[in-house]
Amino acid sequence: MSSGVPTVSELPTAFGAGKPPSAPAVRYDLGVRLRANSEYVAIPIFALLMAALLFAVFLLAIGKSPLEFVDYVWRGGFGTAFSFQNTLQRSSPLILTALALAIPARIGLIMIGAEGALVLGGFAAAAIAVPMVGAIPPVVVIPIMVATALLVGAVWVGIAGYLRYARGVNETISSLLLTYIGIAIMNFFVEGLMRDSSNPNKPSTKPIGDAYMVGHIPGTDVHWGFAVGVVLSISLYILMTRTTFGFAARVTGGNYRAALAQGLPVGKIILSCAMIAGACAGLAGYFEVAAIQGRANASLAAGYGFTGILVSFLARHNPVVIVPVAILFGGLVASGGLIQRRMGLPDATVLVLQGLIFVVLLTSETLYGRLAIFRAGDAKERT
């Protein structure tokens, strides 16, 4: 950065003469951007460290060693091949549910209905597969299951998007309430019409069978949901930052009235973003059924949709950043067991840490734009 600064004085002449930006100008531009963007890295890291510090105080207060805690998080979540795969596996549904929050958040909507879309998407995938199992080959059934999960998830969160646009209903409330309705719908079918009578004590749909499950990524113990999540994160990042749709979505998020005045199809954009979100969550549900449970039952509502909210906020709704953040959370959850077992701490300990991270992170939002070191203005003042 220091190398870019001395060239600043050349800038006015370069632009003033109406020439195309010269090489030094590009370097200046890069320096400013780096400086400005480093804010988005430094502040969350600072927030994480602050949360860690507060958590250390909490641990000391209950007479436990923070260093021991760090040791177990490392060993339980990252330190061995098993631990790291455990972490990746646990992060898979979080990547997808965090995307479900991040995409609408780019247009300024906080939709927290991923849990419901996950449950219904997973249930629908199982429900459509069960009658076809054995009769139709997996090559045909698996794409149908994926499509069903995507569609059902998209429609479910799409409802909240439509209500937002057409009726002005608060999307946060409606998406949350739709979650409870979604879980109730699944329970209704799983405990009634679609119940597997051979399993009297835990209401579930009939199993889809091993042939119709998706396996692990070769050479690992991590299911395909993780790879799909990573690819989807990158694709959605490109969609939201490098395409006309993404630009229109950002304008809509930045100023709704201006977007309307510009003639942007605001309704379509809102609905599309909501549906993309729902599809991501529905896909998470598909992987829960097809990679893990093998059937749909109440275990689908495991809270991934809600942890995804935390992940997306920590990633500042940036689809690409969601992946490392989800891995961090997956690691915390994965190591939670080891912490319980070795340190004798209750299960809620990891929740305390997650809560602290969330609160500190939201508080740190206020720091953006206030710290002089990140401002390009410093450079301009010198000219």
Partner 1 sequence: MRSSTVSRRTFLQTAAGGALGVAAGLATTGRALAADLTVGIVYVGAKDDFGWNQAHAVAAAALKLVPGVTVVEEENVPETDACAKTMESMINLDGAGLILATSFGYYTPFVVEEAKKFAKVEFRHAAPLWNKDKDPKNAGSYFGYLNQAHYVDGVAAGLCTKSNKIGFVAAKPIASVLSNINSVLLGARKTNPKAIVQVIFTGDWAMPVREAEAANALVDAGCDVITCHVDSPKVVIETAEKRGVKTCGHNASQAPLAPKGFITGAEYKWSTIYKGYAADLAAGKPLPNFLIGGYESDFVQNTPFGAGATEAAKTGAMAAITDMKNKVPIYVGPLKDNKTGKVVIDKTYGNLDPYLDKMDYLLEGVVGSIT
Residue ranges binding partner 1 (CB under 8 A)? 2, 5, 42, 45-46, 49, 52, 67-68, 70-71, 73-76, 79-80, 82-83, 86, 89-90, 199-202, 207, 288, 292-294, 297, 299, 302-303, 333-334, 337-338, 340-342, 346-347, 372-373, 378
The residue among 269 and 321 lying less far from partner 1, judged by its C-beta, is 321
Q: Minimal distance in Å, beta carbon 315 to partner 1?
A: 18
Q: Which is nearer to partner 1, 104 or 330 (CB)?
A: 330
Query: In sequence order, what are the beta bridge partners of 216?
Result: 223
∠ Cα 137 142 146 (to 5°): 160
| CB of 81 vs partner 1, minimal distance in Å | 9
For the CB of residue 75, give the shortest distance to partner 1 in the complex, in Å: 6
**DSSP structure class, residue 201:** T
Pick 191 or 365: Cβ nearer partner 1 = 191
Pick the closer one to partner 1 by CB: 98 or 300: 300
Contacts of 17 (CB under 8 A, 6+ apart): none
Nearer to partner 1, 18 or 369 (CB): 369
| DSSP 8-state symbol, 64 | -
Going by C-beta distance under 8 Å and a sequence separation of 6 or more, which residues neighbour residue 195? Answer: 203, 204, 205
Residue 382 Cβ vs partner 1, minimum distance, rounded to whole Å: 9
CB of 80 to partner 1, least distance (A): 7
Burial class (CB in 10 A: 0-12, 13-18, 19+), 242: exposed
Q: Count of CB atoms within 10 A of residue 326's CB?
A: 33
For residue 31, count other CB atoms closer than 10 A to its CB: 19
- The nearest distance, CB 181 to partner 1, in angstroms, is 17
Q: How far is the CB of 341 from partner 1 (least distance, A)?
A: 4
In the complex with partner 1, the residue whose CB is nearer, 273 or 338, is 338
Residue 297 bridge partners (DSSP): 204
Quick one: tokens of 317? Answer: 């709704």
Of the candidates 178, 192, 204, the residue with the CA atom closest to the CA atom of residue 123: 204
Residue number with CB closer to partner 1 (189 or 256): 189
Distance CA 289, CA 150 (A): 13
